[in-house]
Amino acid sequence: MQSIIIGSDHAGFTLKEAIRKRFSSNFEFTDKGTFSSDSVDYPDYAHAVAGEVEAGKFTFGILLCGSANGVAITANRHNGVRAAICWMPEIAELARKHNNANIICIPARFVSDETAFLMIEKFFSTEFEGGRHQKRIDKINCV
């Protein structure tokens, strides 16, 4: 079973819990929080998830917040992390196929549970194409 690290702020909490329940037989989740819908600061959870991906402890992660912008901006500060905001399955597929994204960022206030589930299925079943896309990815990190 594939191990996935997941985290969210308060806006993504309910959807995070639905994802964990829906995919419990597909993935072994390490949940970095938050653990309620009480207001929290999204960078705390985005750093917790992205730091583990950056360190190589996890290959893939899932982050959620209201718009997905905050967690994506924060996660992408980590070397080797390619966190992609996805709002439909086709975007999730391209994020993997062309960008070799390793964290899917979901805007919990703007997608249905079903759309989120479809995006996760697409994200985790799509392989990176490599080739011309690899040379572009090699240009991303600044360090």
Active-site annotation holds for 65: yes
Residue 77 has pLDDT above 80, yes or no: yes
Domains within the chain, CATH numbers bracketed? 2-137 (3.40.1400.10)
Residue (of 5, 14, 86) closest to 45 by Cα position: 5
pLDDT score of 84: 98
Residue 143 has pLDDT above 70, yes or no: no
pLDDT category, 61, cuts 50, 70, 90?
Answer: very high
Are the CB atoms for 97 and 139 separated by under 8 Å?
no
Average pLDDT over residues 32-50: 98
pLDDT score of 141: 80
CA–CA separation, 47 and 125 (whole Å) = 25
Residue 142 has pLDDT above 80, yes or no: no
Active-site annotation holds for 133: no
Average pLDDT over residues 40-56: 98
Residue 9 has pLDDT above 70, yes or no: yes
pLDDT score of 140: 86
Q: Of 10, 78, 86, 98, which residue is the catalytic one? A: 98
Residue (of 91, 99, 97) closest to 119 by Cα position: 91
C-beta atoms surrounding 9 within 10 Å: 25
Average pLDDT over residues 111-121: 98
Are the CB atoms for 86 and 117 separated by under 8 Å?
no
Are the CB atoms for 122 and 93 separated by under 8 Å?
yes
Q: Of 47, 65, 78, 86, which residue is the catalytic one? A: 65
Residue 76 has pLDDT above 70, yes or no: yes
